[in-house]
Amino acid sequence: MSTLEVKDLHVSIDGKNILKGVNLKMQTGEIHAIMGPNGTGKSTLSEAIMGHPAYKVTKGEVLLNGENILELPVDERARAGLFLAMQYPAEIPGVTNAEFIRGAINARLPEDKPLSVRNFLKRLDKTMGVLDMTDEMADRYLNEGFSGGEKKRNEILQLMMIKPKFAILDEIDSGLDIDALKVVSRGVNQMRGPEFGSLIITHYQRLLNYIVPDVVHVMMGGRIVKQGGPELAKRLEDEGYAGLRDELGLDIKLVDEEA
Amino acid sequence: MTVDLKKYPTIAAYAEKTAEPAWFTELRTKSLEKAASLALPSFEKIRYQRWPIQLKQPLERKNSSKELIEEIKPEQTENMVVQLGQDTLELKVSNELRSQGVIVCDWHTALQEHSDLVKKYFMQKAVKINEDLLTAQHVAHLTSGLFIYIPKNVVLKKALTSYFVQDATAKNDYVHHVIIVAGENSEFSYLENLKTVGEQATTANIIVEVIAQENSHVKFASVDRLGAKTTTYLNRRGYLEKNAKIDWSMGMMNDGNIVGDFDSDLVGAGSHSEVKIVAISTGKQIQGIDTRVTNIGKHTIGHILQHGVILSRSSLVFNGIGHILKGAKGADAQQESRVLMLSNKAKGDANPILLIDDNDVTAGHAASIGRVNQEQLYYLMSRGLPKKMAERLVIIGFLGPVLAAIPSKLIREQLKITIERKLIDGQKDE
Ligand SMILES: Nc1ncnc2c1ncn2[C@@H]1O[C@H](COP(=O)(O)OP(=O)(O)OP(=O)(O)O)[C@@H](O)[C@H]1O
Ligand SMILES: [Mg+2]
């Protein structure tokens, strides 16, 4: 079993404070969801955990199995077991999807014992099958010209091939049609088990019908303001964020609110 | 007419030792005399004039020790030539080639056995002897090379591969000449590998002439990996007659300072040159690449596509010159030059030059100088790839459009391997 703990995390970007003390603890075997209004810092939290250079941690810690990882470069965090399915994955022309994924897997293996091409292709083929992806996607350049939905599927493909300990999925459901939503959920559910934990950022309760979370966190104004079970997501779906905010007596302006 | 050889005892001695034809020896002495009044060629934004690029050593026949080739391990193919310094170690040509009258021979043999052909083509059509100081010095100091002659209507499916290994175990200039004559309607593929053994500071002066006669098609590819202490002038030029085509694919993976002058003269109507260049500069080296296509005949096509990557403190300049002469109606000149810089200390330039003297033509250019995209690096690293490997992937991706456009799969694969190796070596300096 592994643990991931975020302690009093403060993060700023371009000098602007976005996260103002986030606390969160999870372990493998669990699925956590984060919901929260636009611009509240959900992606900031995930990028800061992964180690995007633009996000500056000004205070706090991120502990993986009790070790602070904030000093580690991005690639070492990844090899330590973290994975981030990004809200906006980059496009890399000239590098094929398959070549990239194989490189990522081999980066975790001893240099003299890489995964053989044949075994890799076998696994890739099978996993792409689970995600209803066509073979052709393996030979295309990484995310280049992929539709929004294809990019999301491709993030899950990487997740399933790399098998991290903890995966943060940032709006993996946005831009997915109904069938694709089921397919992607199937992929994530297949990963579920005692050695895998996931933090799922979403705006829509619907995803959580397919991937049922153990814990739901609500984030507002750069903090986690409430935690609960799956029913909390249903309540938000019905009532929106304003009700919860007023109930908690928070002084936060929501993006869509009239001044 | 005759030159007094007594004035040139070293040339006379060399001529006697190698028994080269008198006409060639005469060219040498004339060039030497002419050189005094010639200047170094100038290339936009490439300042190489103070490099040790001029040839100063006396003409001398030297042998190299054969074991040196073991460092290189040339890959065996059906048609191949291996030269080390001035020596030819291996020359293997299939019966298919021989029986069709194809000539492949080293420079000495060419002068001995095909003197008339050499005389007809050597620096007559493509490069001219007295073009500048470097071409004149080239003739005076030339000591090795290869002569290839493909007769009319001969279509060769299998490529010829050459390994030209510069011997820098001693301070010897390397002066090398290749002539490829592709007769009417012939087809020929050629892969050239330039390498260096040894670590002495040396000067290389290399000229390659491709004479593509009517309706012929030459695929010329090269993987250039000259050593860090070799200062090189490398001139490759095509002379294209009616409806001839040359596909140039060049990988500039040298480790030392180099001026590359790559030109195509589209003389005959409907002739076509495609130039693809990938270049990587590392360490502190400077690579200046001046690629020119001149549209002379009607309906000629000249395309230049060159992408380069600059690491550490190195420099890379790409000039792309599309010159359409008056009367070249219906000509097309297109070019794209891009450089990618990986460090703040890298210096690079992509310099498009279009000179158009006729109205009835199409022409276009694209050029860019960029830095490596941090979001791409972050994305790759977030999947566990170490930074340097992520950089290499982004670089290979950047070079991808040029690699993809190279006609031969074999060359593409070979280039990819060389690129990878050059990058891994280059990243050690960072
Ligand atoms: N590169 C940046 N430069 C400036 N501000 C930024 C940058 N990235 C994020 N921000 C700001 O930080 C705040 C939090 O953004 P973040 O992307 O974390 O929100 P989010 O909760 O993920 O929103 P959404 O639900 O819309 O994805 C926003 O106000 C955003 O404008
Ligand atoms: Mg977001």
Nearest bound ligand to the CA of residue A253? 1
The H or E element spanning position A231 is: helix A230-248
What residues have CB less than 8 Å from A239, skipping those under 6 apart?
none
CATH of domain A3-86+164-248: 3.40.50.300
Q: For A120-141, what is the mean pLDDT? A: 95
Q: For B242-253, what is the mean pLDDT? A: 97
B50 to each of B45, B47, B227, B314, how far by Cα in Å?
A: 14, 8, 19, 17
Nearest bound ligand to the CA of residue A34? 1
Q: For B118-125, what is the mean pLDDT? A: 98
DSSP state of B312: T
Q: Does residue A59 register a pLDDT over 90?
A: yes
Tell me the pLDDT tens digit for each residue of B30-51.
Answer: 999 999 999 999 999 999 999 9
Q: What pLDDT is attached to residue B319?
A: 98
Measure CA A174 to chain center.
Answer: 12
Chain A residues interacting with chain B (CB cutoff of 8 angstroms): 50-53, 73-75, 78-79, 83-84, 86, 89-95, 100-101, 103-104, 107-108, 141, 158, 162
What count of other Cβ atoms lies within 10 Å of the Cβ of residue A8? 12
Q: Which of A151-155, A177-181, B71-75 has the lowest mean pLDDT?
A: B71-75
Which residues of A are less than 8 Å from B380 in CB distance? 92, 100
Q: Does residue B77 register a pLDDT over 50?
A: yes
Q: What pLDDT is attached to residue B1?
A: 42
Which residues of A are less than 8 Å from B386 in CB distance? 75, 107
* HSE value, Cβ hemisphere, 13 Å, CA-based, for A92: 29
Q: What pLDDT is attached to residue B72?
A: 87
Quick check: A5 and A207 in contact, CB under 8 A? no
Q: Does residue B2 register a pLDDT over 60?
A: no
Quick check: B297 and B242 in contact, CB under 8 A? yes
Quick check: B262 and B291 in contact, CB under 8 A? yes
Subunit contact A90:B378, Cβ cutoff 8 A: yes
DSSP state of A16: E
The percent helix, strand, coil of chain B (3-state, each to 5) is 25, 40, 35
Q: Does residue A257 register a pLDDT over 80?
A: no
Q: For B123-137, what is the mean pLDDT? A: 97
Q: For B215-235, what is the mean pLDDT? A: 97
Q: For B349-362, what is the mean pLDDT? A: 96
Q: How confident is the model at residue A139 (pLDDT cuts 50, 70, 90)?
A: very high
For B130, counting Cβ atoms within 10 Å of its Cβ (0-12 exposed, 13-18 middle, 19+ buried), the class is middle
Q: pLDDT exceeding 90 applies to what percent of chain B?
A: 89
Using CA atoms, how far apart are residues B4 and A20, in angstroms rounded to an integer? 90
Which residues of B are less than 8 Å from A146 in CB distance? none
B106 to each of A60, A226, A228, how far by Cα in Å?
A: 71, 82, 82
B193 to each of A124, A144, B165, B225, B233, how far by Cα in Å?
A: 37, 34, 8, 8, 16
Q: What pLDDT is attached to residue A259?
A: 47
Q: How confident is the model at residue A256 (pLDDT cuts 50, 70, 90)?
A: low
What are A226's strand-pairing partners?
A218
Instruction: Considering only residues B3 and A253, tell me which one the structure prediction assigns the higher pLDDT.
Output: A253
Asked whether A54 lines ligand 1 (CB < 6 A), one says yes
Q: Which residue carries 């690449």 as its tokens?
A: B289
What count of other Cβ atoms lies within 10 Å of the Cβ of residue A247? 10
Using CA atoms, how far apart are residues B100 and B79, in angstroms rounded to an integer? 14
Subunit contact A92:B380, Cβ cutoff 8 A: yes
What are B165's strand-pairing partners?
B84, B195
CA dihedral B81, B85, B87, B90 (to 10 degrees): -20
Structure tokens at A221: 């104004």
Mean pLDDT of chain A: 94
Residues with Cβ within 5 Å of ion ligand 2? A 42-43, 87
Q: What pLDDT is attached to residue B145?
A: 98
Can you give the residue ranges of every domain in chain A? 3-86+164-248
Quick check: B117 and B181 in contact, CB under 8 A? yes
Using CA atoms, how far apart are residues B146 and B128, in angstroms rounded to an integer? 18
Subunit contact A104:B384, Cβ cutoff 8 A: yes
Q: Does residue B389 register a pLDDT over 70?
A: yes
Using CA atoms, how far apart are residues A217 and A223, in angstroms rounded to an integer? 10
Q: For A216-241, what is the mean pLDDT? A: 93
The H or E element spanning position B375 is: helix B374-381
Quick check: B336 and B302 in contact, CB under 8 A? no
Of A92, A137, A100, the C-alpha closest to B400 is A92
pTM for this predicted structure: 0.87
Considering only CB atoms, A103 lies closest to which of B378, B379, B389, namely B389
B194 to each of A66, B161, B310, how far by Cα in Å?
A: 55, 11, 21
In this structure, which amino acid lies at residue B162? Answer: S
Q: For B307-324, what is the mean pLDDT? A: 96
Q: For B136-153, what is the mean pLDDT? A: 98
The H or E element spanning position A189 is: helix A178-191
DSSP secondary structure letters along A20-66:
EEEEEEEETT-EEEEE--TTSSHHHHHHHHHT-TTSEEEEEEEEETT
Of B223, B235, B241, B237, the C-alpha closest to B186 is B241
In this structure, which amino acid lies at residue B242? Answer: K
Secondary structure class of A136 (helix, strand, coil): helix
* HSE value, Cβ hemisphere, 13 Å, CA-based, for B15: 17
Q: Does residue A115 register a pLDDT over 80?
A: yes
Q: How confident is the model at residue B268 (pLDDT cuts 50, 70, 90)?
A: very high
B26: left (phi over 0), alpha (psi -120 to 50) or beta: alpha
Q: What pLDDT is attached to residue A258?
A: 55
Tell me the pLDDT tens digit for each residue of A170-201.
Answer: 999 998 999 999 999 999 999 999 999 999 99
In this structure, which amino acid lies at residue A107? Answer: A
Of B175, B142, B133, B136, the C-alpha closest to B30 is B136
Q: For B383-393, what is the mean pLDDT? A: 94
Q: pLDDT exceeding 70 applies to what percent of chain B?
A: 99
Quick check: A61 and A70 in contact, CB under 8 A? yes
The Cα of A64 is separated from the nearest Cα of chain B by a number of Å equal to 16
**Computed from CA positions of residues A246, A251, A255, A256, in that sequence, does the dihedral angle turn out positive or negative?**
positive
Which atom of ligand 1 is the closest one to the Cα of A41?
Answer: 18
